[in-house]
Amino acid sequence: MSYRGKIDNRKKIAQIVARELRALFPDAKIALNFSNSWELLVAVILSAQCTDKKVNEVTAKLFEKYKTLDDYVNANQLEFQQDIFQTGFYHNKAKNILATAKIIKEKYDGKIPCTMEKMIELPGVARKTANVVLGVACGVHVGIAVDTHVRRLSNLLGLSPEKNPDKIEKDLMQIFPKQEWPKLTYRLIEYGRKYCSAKKHDHSACPLTRILNL
């Protein structure tokens, strides 16, 4: 399934992909559980290299224990590491979440900053995390969140030849109209989960593969 290089070709592919994904998953949305913007940011940071299902299991207890931003500001890092242990990379995640809590309290008066420039300055926040939080919490759509599903399917469907998430994001932003950006990530994730997983399988049974004749 080779990459189809010219941007006009990729725009045609993107048009088909967007149309079919809208039909398959009209109501696709983030799968993480949260009750406010801060909990959303915590959940997205925890989701790095971890399934949404596992994150939701961990945050069900975590959000009961740490109810306010101040609870995170005052948390013991070693104890917090144990609280998020099951999500993997718990040392860095704990350090980043607790450091970010202090910055948000001291610098942003307890509120999530709603610009990409400010978001990516927070510890543990790269463009993927920032795009998700900005879109869901702020209604700000300045890019497209590229997670493992989006990266894999972008390569597979001929939308981008790149491996670096930031480069894939730029490619996707070139070929998908801006009105598609808010739900594109979640529709691709749902498609990857339901039809075209990372496990070895017969791609001829995948709807987009058939339609695009890949």
Q: Mind listing the pLDDT tens digit for each residue in 141-166?
A: 999 999 999 999 999 999 999 999 99
Catalytic residue among 93, 128, 171, 183: 128
Query: Does one domain contain both 122 and 150?
Result: no
Cα–Cα distance for residue pair 65/83, rounded to 1 Å: 9
Residues 68 and 88 in one domain: yes
- Asked if the structure places residue 2 within a domain, the reply is no
Contact 62, 54 (CB under 8 A): no
Instruction: State how far the Cα of 3 lies from the Cα of 121, in Å rounded to an integer.
Output: 34
**Do 52 and 16 belong to one domain?**
no
Which listed residue (52, 83, 93, 147) is catalytic? 147
The residue among 138, 161, 189 that closes a domain is 138
The pLDDT of 20-33, averaged and rounded, is 97
Which pLDDT score, from 0 to 100, does residue 5 have?
Answer: 58
Closest CA to 100 of 90, 89, 111: 111
Specify if 89 maps to a domain: yes
The whole domain housing 180 covers 7-28+146-212
128 is catalytic: yes
Whole-structure pTM value = 0.93
* Tens of pLDDT, residues 35-65: 999 999 999 999 999 999 999 999 999 999 9
Number of domains comprising the chain: 2
Whether 152 contacts 188, CB under 8 Å: no
- Indicate left, alpha or beta for 68 from its phi (over 0: left) and psi (-120 to 50: alpha): beta
Last residue of a domain, one of 91, 117, 138: 138
Q: Using an 8 Å Cβ cutoff, are 46 and 58 in contact? A: yes
Q: How many CA atoms lie within 13 A of 191 on its CB side?
A: 31
118 among known catalytic residues:
no
